[in-house]
Amino acid sequence: MDGLAIILSGLVGLAVGSFLNVVILRWPRGESIVSPPSRCPSCATPLRWYHNVPLVSWTLLRGRCASCEAWIGWQYPLVEAATGAIWAGNVAAYGLEPQAFRAIAFLTVLLAIAVTDARFYIIPDRLSLGGAVLGVALSVLPGPPTLPESVLGAVIGGGALWLVAILGTLAFRKEAMGGGDIKMMTMIGAFLGWKGALLTVFLGALAGTIVFVPLAGEVRQAGPVPAVSGARRSARLLTGRPVARLVHGFPAWTASAGPVRPGRVNARCLIPRPGSDPGPSVTPRSQGVPPIGPGP
């Protein structure tokens, strides 16, 4: 593949990653992603255009606000770099083909879901259901999955997890799974088709058993544990190649708003950055997320 196309796609991915940070921080709080303009999460000072250059601005400012010098957090450069790698990597692998566009869209939405879930314990419907609509729309392009396979995958993916949630609630007599996970599985099914959806449910359940059963004693008092986030869900991308690894979501200290409430820390091993302000608690996904300070 032409190296110029890979470089350009990576640069576009960096810009998309910068915007993705806005989505991750504002949608869970019910804020607009259009206004107000980007601002420091600590002092709310509006950012100048040269403070918003992906990776470069954060590096030159050493991760701190240009006005109040407050620590901004690692989430910003990590999300930008990851998005740039997703775009460049898929163009390098598939070229400028429909397969690349589907993979880019899928992994970009999945990254946003993973970081949002790890930080706020909530998956906005705009990402999950919006991603499902996008997956079905992209299925009209050449290559798998076809439109019927995409629709069937969305139904089976969401339905399978809904059934698991119902059975788990009946078995344990408490909420076993958040509704956001069911909607997210609908999105995954729309992108991967029904076979990929079933494989994801199976591998996700297997990974959850391996990881969380040894921690059962620690999380028993913490309430329902959110299902494994997007980047940790084992899936196969379109052609059947594994694309998601079992990795942990970002720890809470990557974000300047502070960690989640103490009752959830042990359940997800989210440790605040040493010396950082713990910040306000974050309401679990079942109760929504109130505003917790200025946005990006």
Percentage of the chain lying above the pLDDT 70 cut:
70
Percentage of the chain lying above the pLDDT 90 cut:
28
Most confident of 132-136, 286-290, 292-296: 132-136
Confidence category of residue 194, pLDDT binned at 50, 70, 90: confident
pLDDT exceeds cutoff 70 at 268? no
- pLDDT tens digit sequence for 16-39: 999 999 999 889 888 888 888 888
Domain hosting residue 201, numbered range = 3-287
Quote the number of domains for the chain: 1
Residue 164 in any domain: the answer is yes
pLDDT exceeds cutoff 60 at 273? no
Residue 105 in any domain: the answer is yes
Confidence category of residue 61, pLDDT binned at 50, 70, 90: confident
pLDDT exceeds cutoff 60 at 249? no
Residue 295 in any domain: the answer is no
Residue 293 in any domain: the answer is no
Residue 221 in any domain: the answer is yes
pLDDT exceeds cutoff 60 at 250? no
Q: What is the pLDDT of residue 217?
A: 55
Q: What is the pLDDT of residue 78?
A: 93
Most confident of 46-55, 126-135, 163-172, 202-211: 126-135
Q: Per the omega criterion (within 30 degrees of 0), is the bond before 36 cis?
A: yes
pLDDT exceeds cutoff 80 at 269? no
- pLDDT tens digit sequence for 82-109: 999 999 999 999 988 899 999 999 999 9
- Mean pLDDT of all residues belonging to the chain: 74
Q: What is the pLDDT of residue 81?
A: 95
Confidence category of residue 132, pLDDT binned at 50, 70, 90: very high
Q: Which amino acid is at 234?
A: S
Residue 204 in any domain: the answer is yes
Residue 34 in any domain: the answer is yes
pLDDT exceeds cutoff 60 at 209? yes
Phi, psi of 68 (to 5 degrees): -105, -5
Residue 117 in any domain: the answer is yes
